[in-house]
Structure 1
Amino acid sequence: MWSFVLVASAGVALAVTNPKTPQMGWSTWNTFQYNVTQSLVESTAEAFETRGFAKAGYNYLLIDDGWQTETRAADGHQQADPTKFPDGIAALADTVHKKGLKLGIYSDAGIYDCGFYPGSLGYEELDAAQYAAWGIDYLKYDNCGGFEGNTRPPAERFLAMSYALEATGRDIFYALCEWGNQFPWFWADQFSDSYRMSGDIHASYASDGSGVCTTAYCLNTGYAGVSVLTMIRKMRELSGFQKPGAWADMDMMEIGNNAMTTLEEQTHFSFWAALKSPLIIGANVVTMNQSSVDILTNTDIIAVSQDALGTAVSYLPGLSTEDAVQVWGGPLSSGKQRFVVLALNYGNATTDISIPLASVTGLSAALGKNAYTVKEVWSNKAVSVSKSNTIALTGVAVGQTKVLVFSEK
């Protein structure tokens, strides 16, 4: 395996916007794949307003693969498909900006991208300048079409675009999509704003595609076949890397794609938020059922995601039972909130979960000697603590996660 050490000389700037909290938005890929159009983005922008997503904090509209023509222009520039985007990307960006939202676009650190449209390898400065001129606010930078470029390590190829984005002078969020290849949590934070920590998610709560490895440190990161539960499992090893400025991305959410029960969608959203993954919606927000809208706009869960401390929850093995119950916990610092505990039943039957608070790592330090209250977020009900300093959660259904937020009185 190659090794990579980034050494930036004095005065050299990198394209890092240093986001204090994980980004929130919507992407075309999970639902529409290559069928992206100007009208799709415009209708989504409208739905962001009418269905409460913008008010909840979602602000990026991301055009994924399929927006380009199959070849570059004679002068080398990437071109938007005129049939899909008749008014052009700059006009669309202006429309989106007028709604108080931001527009993102897609390219690849290879010769071609995933759909064999032109990638940006060797054209980094030209493409970055084009995106800036169009008014782009976000770049998702993929790794599908490396081919010959893959003789160069991912870190090197992704770094080149970082320099190019910085040279434009425009604040463009830089999101790497290298599927956890070469363990980016060791290097991507030096020149990006978020980075994918695994292969692609697919619309399944518990069932993985063929050959998917369930841990973070493996060569088969799970291309296009990682379930929600496996993505959570991989984060046992990675949550400690989360920090403001560079977020490990668990991929776009599958909430609203009619592939999960309501409880499973709640679990999906709870862990993406508490693990500080970017919250990128991957469903059709125009036609999404109201139950999924309510999950994605739950203010208490979003508050956990956007907490000022920016610390992800950690897996608590002493309180967990493999293939039955997972308990995670971590500190909070926004307002009066001081700690969050997630208790997931991923077994085969309804169960009771007992949480002795003395065994929750970091809880006593976060609370100190202050009086506190506990609320279970999804039921919006207060939770009592026994005289033995234990919380007893009864009747936790299969696929359900109880989210307990501890707040000072």
Structure 2
Amino acid sequence: MKPSLTLLTLAIATGTTAGAKLAQTPQMGFNTWNSFKANYNESTINHITDLLLSLGLKDAGYNHLLLDEGWSDMSRTADGYLQSNQTTFPNGITPLAERVHSKGLKLGLYGDSGILTCGFRPGSWGYEERDALTLASWGVDYWKYDNCGGFQAMSNAPQERFSLMRDALERTGREIFYSVCEWGFQFPWHWGGGIGHSYRMSGDITASFINETGCPCKTAYCLNTGYAGCSVTSIMRKMREISVYQKPGHWLDMDMLEVGVGDMTVNMQKTHFAFWAALKSPLIIGADLRTLKNESLEVLTNRDIIALNQDSLGKPVHFVEDVSVEGSLQVWAGEVKGGNVVLIFNEKSYPQEVEVSLKDLGLGIERPVRAKELWSGKSWGKIDSVEASLGAYQTLVFRISR
């Protein structure tokens, strides 16, 4: 449906100014792609909306409901406007947004910077202004903007294509979170912060913790970034080089959470979640909430780990190479409000005894400090080193108080 002048005027009148500050902490929410691909409808989304509340996920901070590929029709209206899939969303997006908002959540949609989306639906190349106004008129709060289906548009640099939509969104006057999804091509940590509130730093994640086959590039600065199939540990490896580029207002997006997807052990899921949180990646659930196991729900709703992600300083942890052992033990550390955070990850498929001195982490710790291990919730009292037995792929997460 073509957005009316009244709706467009209302969107601008009720929106915030273009200079409003979004993304002061990384976004949290649920994305449809892992669970449904493009096969979902209005009833499905209403059910997921209700589950975000009943499972306690909204209360834990997951306040974005994001409709990935599949919400839109295969063609524009006769006069060139985006429209919802007439079979699966016959009532359009506005009533859906109103229901989502009534539950205290925000609604996100998916589009593309090329002529077509990844699923060969209409992209926004050449329609940026019109599509941005349409989103605003519908009451959309979040726009995930992909890099597929570029064809002719792919001859234009991503900086140009993604900037055009940024400008169009800002001109609507509505506060719309802009999630840039161009898979890490052309090293967006050097320029993406001036365009998106978050931006992908790698090819798509897979539900594998290790041993992927489709992500040949294991470093951030690699021309063959790999489109898809990157494991959790491969994406972590890439972040060693680029975590320093993050700050409030724009975040490196390590892709969706695979907690509750595939056959990861609990230790793997905890490690995955801890690193996405401490590295200040958006926390976007990909698991099917209808069948989510309690053990995975407990990982996703750990308030202490979430607090690392939402810490007001917005500083990601960094890899401490001097005390790590390649292929065996990873140690990461950083600053949070009121202290520090330390992650110790056993990269082996079997238990290991570890000993890590806090004074060797470059945090300025010269005497015993109070430490709480966040997965167990237990205080370790005052310590100057960590001596522990870590299970296969287990990560201990310590919050240090000065």
**Equivalent AA in structure 2 for residue 95 of structure 1:** R
> Is structure 2 residue 400 aligned with structure 1 residue 406?
yes
> Is structure 2 residue 378 aligned with structure 1 residue 381?
yes
Q: Partners in 2 of 1:54 and 1:348 — Cα distance?
A: 34
- Asked whether the 8 Å contact 1:104–1:138 carries over to 2, the reply is yes
- Asked whether the 8 Å contact 1:328–1:343 carries over to 2, the reply is yes
**Equivalent AA in structure 2 for residue 350 of structure 1:** P
1:54-102 Cα deviation digits (max 9, x unpaired): 0001100000011111111111001101211122111000000000000
SS of aligned partner of 1:240: helix
- Seen in structure 2, the aligned counterparts of structure 1 residues 17 and 110 have a Cα distance that, compared at 3 Å, is farther
2:298 corresponds to which residue?
294
1:271 corresponds to which residue?
275
1:7 corresponds to which residue?
none
SS of aligned partner of 1:236: helix
Q: Partners in 2 of 1:185 and 1:25 — Cα distance?
A: 23
**Equivalent AA in structure 2 for residue 359 of structure 1:** D
Corresponding residue to 1:144 among 129, 145, 148: 148
- Summarize the alignment of residues 3-402 of structure 1 with structure 2, pairs less than 5 Å apart: 17-333=21-337, 337-364=338-365, 372-384=369-381, 389-393=384-388, 395-402=389-396
- Asked whether the 8 Å contact 2:111–2:146 carries over to 1, the reply is yes
1:256-288 Cα deviation digits (max 9, x unpaired): 113201110000000000000000000111220
SS of aligned partner of 1:127: helix
Q: Partners in 2 of 1:164 and 1:138 — Cα distance?
A: 14
1:6 corresponds to which residue?
none
More deviation in 119-128 or 216-225?
A: 216-225
Q: Partners in 2 of 1:170 and 1:40 — Cα distance?
A: 27
Q: Partners in 2 of 1:70 and 1:230 — Cα distance?
A: 35
More deviation in 32-41 or 103-112?
A: 32-41
Calculate the TM-score normalised by the size of structure 1: 0.92
1:5-32 Cα deviation digits (max 9, x unpaired): xxxxxxxx96774411000000001121
Structure 1: stretches of 5+ with no match in the other structure: 1-12
- Asked whether the 8 Å contact 2:317–2:333 carries over to 1, the reply is yes
Q: Partners in 2 of 1:137 and 1:184 — Cα distance?
A: 23
Residue 50 (structure 1) shift: 0.7
Q: Partners in 2 of 1:192 and 1:309 — Cα distance?
A: 20
SS of aligned partner of 1:69: coil
SS of aligned partner of 2:171: helix
- Asked whether the 8 Å contact 1:173–1:193 carries over to 2, the reply is yes
1:355-387 Cα deviation digits (max 9, x unpaired): 1111112243xxx98x8421111111122555x
- Seen in structure 2, the aligned counterparts of structure 1 residues 325 and 249 have a Cα distance that, compared at 3 Å, is same
- Asked whether the 8 Å contact 2:371–2:398 carries over to 1, the reply is yes
1:197-256 Cα deviation digits (max 9, x unpaired): 000001100021235211001122221200000010000011100110000000001111
- Asked whether the 8 Å contact 2:370–2:382 carries over to 1, the reply is no
**Equivalent AA in structure 1 for residue 395 of structure 2:** T
Q: Percent same amino acid among aligned pairs?
A: 48
Q: Partners in 2 of 1:59 and 1:97 — Cα distance?
A: 10
- Asked whether the 8 Å contact 1:15–1:192 carries over to 2, the reply is no
Which runs of at least 4 in structure 1 moved beyond 4 Å after TM superposition? 13-16
Residue 349 (structure 1) shift: 2.1
Query: Across the two proteins, how many residue pairs are aligned to each other?
Result: 386
Residue 37 (structure 1) shift: 1.5
SS of aligned partner of 1:145: coil
2:6 corresponds to which residue?
none
- C-alpha RMSD of matched pairs (Å): 1.5
1:322-367 Cα deviation digits (max 9, x unpaired): 110000000010xxx4110000001232101211111112243xxx
- Seen in structure 2, the aligned counterparts of structure 1 residues 396 and 26 have a Cα distance that, compared at 3 Å, is same
Structure 2: stretches of 5+ with no match in the other structure: 1-16
**Equivalent AA in structure 1 for residue 81 of structure 2:** H
1:177-211 Cα deviation digits (max 9, x unpaired): 00001111111111210000000001100021235
SS of aligned partner of 2:240: coil
Q: Partners in 1 of 2:364 and 2:78 — Cα distance?
A: 61
1:289-340 Cα deviation digits (max 9, x unpaired): 111111000000000000010000000011100110000000010xxx4110
